[in-house]
Amino acid sequence: MSSDFRVAACDALRNVIARKSTAAQVAEPADEADIIKGLTLAANALSATAERITANPNQQDLLNDPEEVEFIRRLADTMSTMASYQLSTITDENVRNTFLERVLGLTRFASLEVLDVVINLWPVLLRAMGAELPKTFIRGPPSQGVNNPYNAPKIEPTGILPNGASEALLEIGKWWINAGAGIALGFDTKGIPGNKVEEWRESFENPSELRETWVQVRAKWMDIVKLCSALCPTNAANQAVQNTFTVLSWAQPGGPLANASDETTCAALEGASSFLEAVMAALPTEGPSFEGFASTLEALLNQLVNIDFKTPHSNAQVAKLLETYGKFARSRPDAARMIMSRMFTVLRDLPTDLTAGAPPVRQRDIIASGRSGQAARQKVCAAILVVCASAPTVRHALRFTTRFPSASVP
């Protein structure tokens, strides 16, 4: 089948399935049954096409072919549209589950162009499953009338995601965040296992354009990870901790980054800290569910407060990993003291630039200026402030555990 015909077929099908509530608008049961049958056939056809792509052993060949990437992007867009408008109409649960599994497979396809058309689907489906983040609130319109949907009684979740979808999305989100590790920092990423920066860079005119695109993609993935973590907190905590342990092990003797530069190690740690941050933001800090993964978090914390890379940027990135524990420090004074003591030690040991007294690193200069010792110090100072804001009482405990000749804790 020619690529032109495939793309045209996807576009035609997308225009049909983009019509909302097709089955609900017909009066005759026979017509409704025919519509459901037609949607089921379309879903099966799309699923079969997606499976041929995800099962292809030569994924790199697909990525290197612009026509294939464009077709996969159109296919993913069509499947995302169907999932948004018509999938819940299909009565066969197996068809729905298979369809969503194939969309998950396309979400894992290592193309930023394909990801762009499918990533926005997942927050909608996760919220339909009842995923909510703590301390989040969306203000409704000012009208107080009975027709205002914000005044309607809250209904039970009516999601269609199959069992295990949240866990699978966490795996995919982890993969993407690690694949783009280091882009936001502008650091060297060569040699990082699974990193795709060198491949993606060819599609952009300059590093700044790639960085701007990636920062938005990473933010979307972090939101998805938060929602998944709200639905399966224990699995999320385990994945985040294991991922961090894995990245830390890369820099140990015998690991792939054992002889890497400070920049490269820091870039890898940036991916781990982004994933850990997203998971930690959604985890509960008490209750039965917390007890299920508390020991796992404590094991990672014990390693983080003891690890020392002897290099400024990698140690500063460890401080960012410790920052993610901020909200847990509120009810655990011992952990709070460990975290803050380690952060101040990292800050004390960072080298002083020759350009002391220079203005703060500006966002527009982040790719060039992020390599300075000043940028590392700012990163650690920001982490300290976040922990203090999350657990204000830690400042009082710190008076008795930290001695800093040139500064005092208020």
* Sequential pLDDT tens for the chain (410 residues): 556 788 888 888 888 888 765 455 554 676 788 888 999 999 999 999 999 999 999 999 999 999 999 999 999 999 999 998 889 889 999 999 999 999 999 999 999 999 999 999 999 999 999 998 765 544 444 444 444 433 334 334 467 899 999 999 999 999 999 999 999 998 999 999 999 999 999 889 998 999 999 999 999 999 999 999 999 999 999 999 999 999 999 999 999 999 999 999 999 999 999 999 999 999 988 888 888 898 999 999 999 999 999 999 999 999 999 999 988 887 787 888 899 999 999 999 888 764 455 555 554 454 554 566 788 888 999 999 998 888 777 766 565 444 444 443 33
- The answer to whether the beta carbons of residues 376 and 350 sit under 8 Å apart is yes
CA distance 316 to 65: 40
The secondary structure of 208-246, three-state, reads HHHHHHHHHHHHHHHHHHHHHHHHCHHHHHHHHHHHHHH
> Which of helix, strand or coil describes residue 130?
coil
In angstroms, the CA 169 to CA 164 distance is 9
Please report, for the chain, the start and end positions of each structural domain, with discontinuous segments joined by +.
1-118, 160-286, 305-410
Round to whole Å and give the CA distance between 400 and 44.
65
Q: How far apart are CA 104 and CA 116, in angstroms?
A: 14
DSSP-derived letter for residue 196 is -
Of 185, 202, 211, the residue nearest 320 (C-alpha): 185
List pLDDT tens digits, range 108-162: 999 999 999 999 999 999 999 999 876 554 444 444 444 443 333 433 446 789 9
CA Rg value for the chain: 24
Q: Count how many Cα atoms sit within 13 Å of the Cα of residue 6 in the half-sphere of its side chain.
A: 17
Residue 362 to residues 142, 313, 358: CA-CA distances in angstroms? 39, 17, 11
Q: What is the pLDDT of residues 20-43, one digit of tens each?
A: 654 555 546 767 888 889 999 999
What secondary structure does DSSP assign to 145-187, as a single string?
STT-GGGSPPPPP---PPTTHHHHHHHHHHHHHHHTTTTTTT-
Question: Which of 132, 150, 128 shows the shortest CA–CA distance to 141?
Answer: 150
Coil, helix or strand at residue 393: coil
